[in-house]
């Protein structure tokens, strides 16, 4: 196999990374340790009868995916770090191989990605924690953390920035491989225990930090549809996290800006997609009324424009969730919640030259509500918009890597956008009933202070989803998604 190496030292990420490393304060007497590790994830995904989006030929799946889809993803990763008392330099390399067990489209492709046709830099960042200085104290800042470089926007506990519906995924088309964005991020801890997060990020459809053969160069990372290979996004924002009412009402107030650059699709009938700018202003409230009752409420408004014709753009989002934690299941950390999420739509979305009032998910294009409906999303891959979803959810935790959740509820569109199927019952806004369950389980947990081979941990999970389509879709057949996963960490 023929390999090539890109001149990564000339990329904005690496040149900026070198500059940031040079500006880090002196290390003094700090001792630095070298650590390394690896993990291997093997997952099988099976899905059938995924509902498509018949109204838009540029959608992820313009027709019903009637054939069964069954594939195995194998993702090895290797990481190493140099860590001291306050600083850490972290790097992670990754690759993913896919084995298709059934026909993939018109031709049988046993392996879409052959090892090691691509090895890419999944993470590469410099991090500082609990940094203090006299000038910061003079300004009321107790300490500062920072992270500069390629880093995940989504982790084990959810969004790394704490905003599930705003910041979650930098590479949405291929989220099974990676969640990274190239970002500069700092957290300022104030004297009153409030914090301010400041960040700027860049997401490109092309991954320049990679080694591989020429067959792998065209794999897009962040497009809305399969035909978008050159989509670039950049932006930034701030998040203020604090407490009000005697510290019993935690909140996050935020403002996030995003610009999507203009690009041309590579579809059979190419079209030029205009540049778009959106600013989201919102607040997230997470009050705890007692040990039993809690709530989550988030509201956000967007302001922006589509640069072609200087049209207006920007939607509205609202989320309400009431949580009940039965004390009889306190040891299992059980919680029962009733939640409803609203994303605005645009009834004139298909009209040329119109404004766009639909919700823009910013960098939250990930599997927010469903693994299954990612493949049948309305406006593109993981583009959650024009949706009202109410669900009843149960969550339980039994220990490390051992948890369960299940939820179910109806889904509607916020407005009739003429993208859904209209021949069966007129302008239906009922999308269907979505139900899902997941069980995480440990197989081997490393003991405290483990060394060498005893550090190996093995755990897995099972996810199942069922979607009964409503009249909005062209099919009435139930859709399903099933995933088995085993992960080995060292």
Domain ranges of the chain: 4-489
DSSP secondary structure code for residue 24 in this structure: S
The count of other CB atoms within 10 Å of the CB of residue 215 is 13
How many Cβ atoms sit within 10 Å of the Cβ of residue 130?
11
Q: How far apart are the C-alpha atoms of 378 and 56, rounded to whole Å? A: 8
pLDDT-based confidence at residue 49 (cuts at 50, 70, 90) = confident
Q: How far is CA 26 from the centre of its chain?
A: 35
**For 334-345, how does the pLDDT look when each residue is reduced to its tens digit (9 = 90+)?**
999 999 999 998
| pTM, full prediction | 0.86
Confidence of residue 124 (pLDDT cuts 50, 70, 90): very high
Cα separation, 99 vs 123, in Å, equals 25
Predicted confidence (pLDDT) per residue in 227-272, tens digit: 556 678 899 999 999 988 777 899 999 999 999 888 877 766 777 7
Burial of 168 (0-12, 13-18, 19+ CB in 10 A): buried
Q: Per-residue pLDDT for 282 more than 50? A: yes
The average pLDDT across 354-373 equals: 87
Cβ pair 314, 278 in contact under 8 A: yes
pLDDT at residue 307 in the model:
87
pLDDT at 210: 76
Q: What is the pLDDT of residue 61?
A: 43
The mean pLDDT of the chain is 82
**The most confident of 62-76, 122-136, 165-179, 378-392, by mean pLDDT:** 122-136
pLDDT at 43: 93
Q: Given a cut of 80, is residue 1 above it in pLDDT?
A: no
Nearest alpha carbon to residue 336 among 376, 388, 396, 382: 396
Angle at the Cα of 297 (from 294 to 298), degrees rounded to 5?
150
Q: Is the peptide bond before 116 cis (omega within 30 degrees of 0)?
A: yes
**Under CATH, to which class is 4-489 assigned?**
mainly beta
- Rounded Cα distance between 240 and 262, Å, is 31
pLDDT at residue 301 above 60? yes
Give the pLDDT confidence score for residue 171 in this predicted structure: 74
Query: In the prediction, which pLDDT does 351 show?
Result: 61
Q: Report the percentage of the chain scoring pLDDT > 70.
A: 78
Distance of alpha carbon 136 from alpha carbon 476, whole angstroms: 61
Indicate whether 194 pLDDT > 70: yes
- In which band, very low, low, confident or very high, does the pLDDT at 6 lie, cut at 50, 70 and 90? very low
User: Residue 454: what are its φ and ψ, rounded to 5°?
Assistant: -70, -10
């Amino acid at each position: 196999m023929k390999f090539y190496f890109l001149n990564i030292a000339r990329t904005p990420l690496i040149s900026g990374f070198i500059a940031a490393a040079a500006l880090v304060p002196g290390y003094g007497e700090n001792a630095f340790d070298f650590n390394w590790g690896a993990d291997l994830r093997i997952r099988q995904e099976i899905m059938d009868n995924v509902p498509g989006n018949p109204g838009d030929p540029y959608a992820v799946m313009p027709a019903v995916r009637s054939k069964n889809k069954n594939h195995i993803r194998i993702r090895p990763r290797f990481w190493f770090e140099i860590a001291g008392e306050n600083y850490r330099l972290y790097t992670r390399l990754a690759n993913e191989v896919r084995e298709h067990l059934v026909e993939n489209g018109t031709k049988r492709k046993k392996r879409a990605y052959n090892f090691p046709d691509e090895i890419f830099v999944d993470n590469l960042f410099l991090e500082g924690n609990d940094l203090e200085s006299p000038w910061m104290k003079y300004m009321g800042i107790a300490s500062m953390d920072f992270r500069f470089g390629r880093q995940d926007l989504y982790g084990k506990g959810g969004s790394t920035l704490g905003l599930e519906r705003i910041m979650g995924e930098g590479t949405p088309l291929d989220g099974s491989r990676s969640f990274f964005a190239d970002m500069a991020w700092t957290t300022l801890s104030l004297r009153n225990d409030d914090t301010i997060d400041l960040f700027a990020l860049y997401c490109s459809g092309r991954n320049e930090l990679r080694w591989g053969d020429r067959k792998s160069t065209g794999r897009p990372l962040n497009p809305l549809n399969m035909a978008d290979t050159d989509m670039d996004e950049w932006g930034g924002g701030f998040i203020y996290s604090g407490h009000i009412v005697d510290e019993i009402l935690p909140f996050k107030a935020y403002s996030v800006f995003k610009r999507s650059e203009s690009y041309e699709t590579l579809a059979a009938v190419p079209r030029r997609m205009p540049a778009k700018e959106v600013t989201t202003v919102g607040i997230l409230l997470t009050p705890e009324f007692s040990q039993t009752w809690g709530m989550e409420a988030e509201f956000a408004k967007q302001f922006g424009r589509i640069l072609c014709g200087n049209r207006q753009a920007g939607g509205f989002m609202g989320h309400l969730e009431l949580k009940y934690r039965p004390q009889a299941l306190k040891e299992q950390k059980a919680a029962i919640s009733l939640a409803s999420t609203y994303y605005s739509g645009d009834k004139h979305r298909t009209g040329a030259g119109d404004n766009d009032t639909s919700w823009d998910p910013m960098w939250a294009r990930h599997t927010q509500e469903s693994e299954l409906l990612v493949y049948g999303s309305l406006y593109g891959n993981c583009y959650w918009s024009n949706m009202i979803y109410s669900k009843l959810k149960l969550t339980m935790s039994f220990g490390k890597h051992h948890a369960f959740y299940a939820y179910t509820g109806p889904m509607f569109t916020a407005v009739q956008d003429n993208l859904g199927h209209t021949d069966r019952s007129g302008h239906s806004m009922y999308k269907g009933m979505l139900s899902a369950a997941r069980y995480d389980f440990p197989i081997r947990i490393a003991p405290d202070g483990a060394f060498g081979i005893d550090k190996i941990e093995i755990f897995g999970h099972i996810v199942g989803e069922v979607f009964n389509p409503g009249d909005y879709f062209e099919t009435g057949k139930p859709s399903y998604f099933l995933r088995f996963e085993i992960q080995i960490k060292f």
